[in-house]
Amino acid sequence: METGVGKTYTYIKTMYELNKHYGWSKFIIVVPSIAIREGVYKSFQVTQEHFAEEYGKKVRFFIYNSAQLTEIDRFASDNSINAMIINAQAFNAKGKDARRIYMKLDEFRSRRPIDMIAKTNPILIIDEPQSVEGKQTKKNLAEFHPLMTLRYSATHKSDSIYNMVYRLDAMEAYNKRLVKKIAVKGISETGSTATESYVYLESINFSKKDPTATIQFDIKGKSGIRKVNRIVGIGYNLYDHSGQMEEYKDGFVVKMIDGREDSVSFLNGIKLYVGDVIGKVDENQLRRIQIRETILSHIQRERQLFYKGIKVLSLFFIDEVAKYKQYDAAGQPVNGIYAQMFEEEYADITNTMQREIGDDEYIKYLQKIAPSATHAGYFSVDKKGHMIDSKVGRKESTTDDIDAYDLIMKNKELLLDRNPDKSPVRFIFSHSALREGWDNPNVFQICTLKQSSSEVRKRQEVGRGLRLCVNQDGERMDANVLGKDVHNVNVLTVIASESYDSFAKGLQSEIAESITDRPRAVTAELFMDKVVTDSDGGELIIDRDMAYAIQYDLIVNQYIDKKGNLMDKYYEDKKNGSIRVAEEAADFTADVIKIIDSVYDSRVILPENARSSNVELTVEEEKLAKPEFQALWAKINAKSVYVVDFDTEELVQKAIAALDSKLRVSKIYFKVETGVMERILLRKQKVPCHLCRCV
């Protein structure tokens, strides 16, 4: 099951169903880390009433703790549904305390906890088995004497797929609109002859007049050189506006701003596309650009969803706490370099917005939140309450320090509160190791402020933000609520320290690796022996002739090429509801489309370029106030409601009477013509009709 589609919900429901149909009541959920353990526990809490309404009973759930052995007794003796949540380290790690589950304990009447559990023959549910089931763990799991083992994961190892009973992979999850759409903001360094001239093209701006561009460059002031953001037009000279810095003397005059391809050209021949940066770029400057781009994306998304009652969160992953928070000699907290960058860029962006937009409800919302109050760090803390780097084992990808997870999970609902007085935090800085424990549904931006490595895969980076968002009332904004608009609201933007093309190809490659059991082409064999159903419930098994007929028509209609690759026209007609298949299978079109959609096509889940749509719709108030528009509006703004109530019996009687009195049926006449061919002329002759004697 793909990340973010409700895996925990699914196996909790499975537990209830197994209890309902077979009476099984002992379940153990084995998880790889404390992060996931806390997330599972939270899911049990928030879904308890929901399942109680559906099944008329509640599950008793608890986290295994070797110091609370009475829970084991209750688990073994209670007849109701019981679920024990345990992380693998509790029975797998070395150390005396971690192995208490195998010991005869005096406080447990000289019994071993594992023996009590094993006597119940529980059903094991393995959450993320690829992270749990090592050689030693598999051996230790056998000690539980499970009745059966169910495994749930988005990334099963190829040698650990035993009996597949359900699959909801990345492609199907996207097709069913169960996860957010992914957009990417790429930032790429561009080589040029002017290697010492720093210029970053942030955006192209459209207005009533000519387009402008927002660029960042160096400026020389009284206190030294600093970087500034400026909105520029054609003819803007960076040399003049930088305090006449020599690095901009050679032709850094804006020659062209092209809104079609999002580019700016200078007189010296240098051409930059949005997201490109040239010149002296150290790592800190790249991180500053990422932070600024994250804030810009956040503000844009937040303005769109503000009136829908949806709070927007952004998540920064960093690899060192000191870059976010430090402590002075007196132990007082001070901003690290990333927090300092954030507050500077946030203040600059919001101040500019307030000047441009003016008085607005959203601007009032922003004015209530100080830059220092809208970001927070979620890290482990020491005994002094100081944030510290989490402890990560050499072979582990997630920390085993519980402090950070407590902070995150306990504040999960609070973070979703839109009241700025209660919850001003909208930007979260967290340790990169927490990527598998963070699952707040309202994360709309993810930015990784660290060097990429082969250990951190792109699917892991985006996984924390794939869940569909919720509104202020906790209502999930899915297709049932939003319909086809679900992917206009639910968009996850990844701010990457690489080009869009590079990130998109890398993500697609990883998704393709995980989807190994889907066909790669539309062939006749794909349809053979498939059972399809028409709208009336009639079933048909597709034979060889029909399969080839379907394939032939797909090629003729330009839905696939000769190699079976899906073409753009298929997706266009599918969107419009005008798919045509072979005549023989026309009654089964819906099922034929389902079969075609089972084929893996990387374009289905291709991340969109977040910079490809830079046109923002605005209302021109002065035009709304024009007399011509007001006159038109006065004619079209009225709404009428008609309610019609018929007396069925009266309607029938009046219809019969009207037909009897007014129905006139014309007489039928026949016309018979004969002709005689004389040379090339045709002569016609009228003759009497034998039916009515007319001529």
Question: Predicted confidence band at 94 (pLDDT cuts at 50, 70, 90)?
Answer: low
Name the phi and psi angles at 505, rounded to 5. -65, -40
3-state secondary structure of 380: strand
Per-residue pLDDT, averaged over 571-592, amounts to 88
> Is the pLDDT assigned to residue 423 strictly greater than 50?
yes
Residue 393 has pLDDT above 80, yes or no: no
User: Residue 460 in contact with residue 507, Cβ under 8 Å?
Assistant: no
pLDDT at res. 112: 82
pLDDT of residue 390: 65
Residues contacting 265, CB < 8 A, separation 6+: 254, 255, 256, 258, 271
More confident residue, 108 or 547: 547
CB 314 within 8 A of CB 462: no
Phi and psi angles of residue 254, each rounded to the nearest 5 degrees, phi first: -65, 120
Amino acid at site 694: C
Task: Give the chain's length.
Answer: 695
Q: Closest by alpha carbon to 528, among 550, 504, 559?
A: 550
At residue 194 the predicted structure's pLDDT band, cuts being 50, 70 and 90, is very low
pLDDT, mean of residues 181-210: 78
CA distances to 189, 524, 528, 544 from 547, in Å = 50, 5, 6, 5
The predicted structure's pLDDT at residue 158: 66
Global pTM value = 0.71
